């Protein structure tokens, strides 16, 4: 059994291993309206310059800077959506609206607020430089320039970018298939009535939700009994997917047989322990050419280890270029202490608008009610013991 890694060592190992050994995913083409949050599978390039023509970024008059200040004659107007075909000669002005192409001859825009008008005469006291309030052609992008890279997730702003360049259909990577295998003799399905010594299977449901959010497609397997042949048959089935997630059965108990089964299937174990809480006995490795995670079975351990490690693996297998941990910082509303040595991920509530976070009291990693009251995990550094009220602390959103 390998030694325990620190949180950041383990994360780096997962990211490096998956990045270097992942197959290129299959691709599919979708209408742009269905491509939100998918991963773009080919560079998207500008079909023309943006903007294609120099345009005004203010309402006002288009003039020659050399004529300023002074009195000018209005010779016409140009509005957004109009093709142009008008020009401004010496001592002439063209009324112009935001977004309209700058008339030939004009080289600066004087804002409407800085102009007094009398009939077709305008006067301004402004002194301006050529180019003021004009966005030159190609200022945002040049024709042919890559605007969204292959491997980038289609956020709403990238959807806007693809719409702008007339990308009616988007070529995206197919979702990786992620098998979910819960284990444990005490686990019953959610439509069953558990005996007092049994618990309903919540991990399959939290994991399926997390898989979905990571861009994967969940393949749910039946719960494996803590028995060799049954567990082995289901693990073999799970290894047919692109990634296998197991919950439970990776601690040191007599019936924690997941690692034995995987070892018999020729698994290479890259991680067997991480200095985190919850989730210390995390297992990560590869068998039959597929990556797997053995996530500790307590619900908080399963959720946290998924977010910290499996999420990045699924994102990378889904064709993303990178898989950053989406941390933010918030101010503690109370003093906070923990025992150093492990990086802890504890339920917390991030408050609306205030950038403030409050730890949610809990009884330990089986406390789903506390997790459900929380909306985030507070991240307590393994090397620190205490934080004061008002100090910034990293927070991982649920």
**In the complex, what is the shortest distance from the CB of residue 256 to Mg ion, in angstroms, rounded to a whole number?**
6
Paired tokens of 233? 């048959």
CB of 344 to Mg ion, least distance (A): 23
Tell me which of 60, 184, 294, 319 binds Mg ion, using CB under 5 A.
Answer: 184
CB-count exposure of residue 292 (10 Å: 0-12, 13-18, 19+)? buried
Distance of closest approach, residue 80 Cβ to ligand AMP, in angstroms: 58
Stretch that binds Mg ion, among 38-46, 64-72, 242-250, 303-311 (CB under 5 A): 242-250
Q: What is the rounded CA–CA span in Å between residue 300 and residue 277?
A: 9
Specify the residue, 207 or 395, whose C-beta has the smaller distance to ligand AMP.
Answer: 207
Least distance to ligand AMP, CB of residue 325, Å = 24
User: Nearest approach, Cβ of 204 to ligand AMP (angstroms)?
Assistant: 6
Residues forming the site for ligand AMP (CB under 6 A): 182, 184, 186-187, 199, 201-204, 247-249, 251, 253, 296-299, 366
Rounded-to-integer distance, Cα 284 and Cα 312, Å = 13
Smaller CB separation from ligand AMP, 24 or 254: 254
Among 80-88, 161-169, 181-189, 228-236, the segment contacting Mg ion (CB under 5 A): 181-189
- Please give the residues from 274 up to 303 whose contact with Mg ion meets the rule CB under 5 A: 297
Nearer to Mg ion, 103 or 184 (CB): 184
Minimum distance, C-beta of residue 12 to ligand AMP, in the bound complex (Å) = 25
Judged by CB, which is closer to Mg ion: 101, or 184?
A: 184
Residue 248 touching Mg ion (CB under 5 A):
yes
Partner whose footprint covers residue 217, from ligand AMP, Mg ion, none (CB < 5 to 8 Å by kind): none
Between 153 and 248, name the residue whose CB sits nearer to Mg ion.
248
Which of 156/197 has CB closer to Mg ion?
197
Residues numbered 74 to 133 that lie near Mg ion (CB under 5 A) are none
Nearer to Mg ion, 225 or 373 (CB): 225
Site of interaction with Mg ion (CB under 5 A): 184, 248-249, 297
């Amino acid at each position: 059994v390998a030694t325990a890694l620190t949180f950041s060592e383990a994360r780096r190992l997962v990211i490096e291993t998956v990045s270097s050994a992942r197959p290129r995913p299959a691709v599919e083409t979708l209408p742009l309206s269905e491509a939100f949050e998918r991963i773009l599978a080919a560079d998207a390039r500008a079909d023309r310059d943006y903007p294609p023509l120099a345009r005004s970024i203010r309402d006002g008059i288009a003039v020659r800077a050399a004529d300023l200040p002074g009195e000018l004659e209005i010779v016409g107007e140009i509005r957004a959506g109009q093709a142009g075909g008008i020009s401004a000669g010496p001592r002439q002005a063209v009324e112009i609206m935001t977004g309209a192409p700058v008339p030939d001859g004009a080289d600066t825009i004087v804002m409407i607020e800085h102009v007094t008008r009398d009939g077709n005469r305008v006067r301004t006291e402004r002194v301006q430089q050529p180019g003021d309030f004009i966005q030159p052609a190609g200022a945002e992008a040049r024709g042919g320039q890559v605007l969204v890279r292959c491997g980038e997730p289609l956020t709403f702003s990238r959807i806007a970018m693809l719409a702008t360049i007339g990308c009616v259909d988007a070529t995206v990577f197919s979702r990786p298939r992620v098998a979910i295998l819960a284990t444990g003799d005490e686990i019953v399905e959610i439509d069953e009535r558990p005996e007092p010594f049994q618990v309903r299977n919540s991990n399959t449901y939290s994991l399926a939700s997390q898989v979905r959010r990571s861009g994967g497609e969940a393949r749910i397997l039946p719960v494996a009994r803590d028995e060799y042949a049954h567990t082995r048959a289901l693990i073999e089935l799970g290894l047919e997917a692109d990634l296998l997630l197991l919950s439970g059965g990776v601690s040191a108990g007599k019936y924690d047989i997941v690692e034995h089964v995987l070892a018999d299937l020729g698994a290479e174990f890259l991680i067997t322990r991480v200095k985190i809480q919850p989730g210390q006995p995390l297992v990560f490795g590869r068998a039959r050419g597929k990556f797997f995670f053995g996530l500790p079975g307590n619900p908080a351990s399963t959720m946290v280890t998924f977010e910290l490690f499996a999420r990045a693996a699924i994102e990378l297998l889904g064709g993303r270029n990178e898989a950053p941990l989406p941390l933010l910082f918030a101010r503690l509303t109370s003093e906070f202490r923990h025992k150093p040595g492990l990086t802890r991920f504890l339920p917390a509530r991030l408050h609306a608008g205030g950038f403030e976070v409050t730890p949610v009291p809990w009884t330990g990693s089986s406390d789903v009610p506390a997790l459900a009251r929380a909306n985030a995990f507070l991240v307590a550094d393994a090397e620190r013991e205490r934080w004061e009220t008002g100090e910034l602390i990293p927070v991982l959103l649920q």
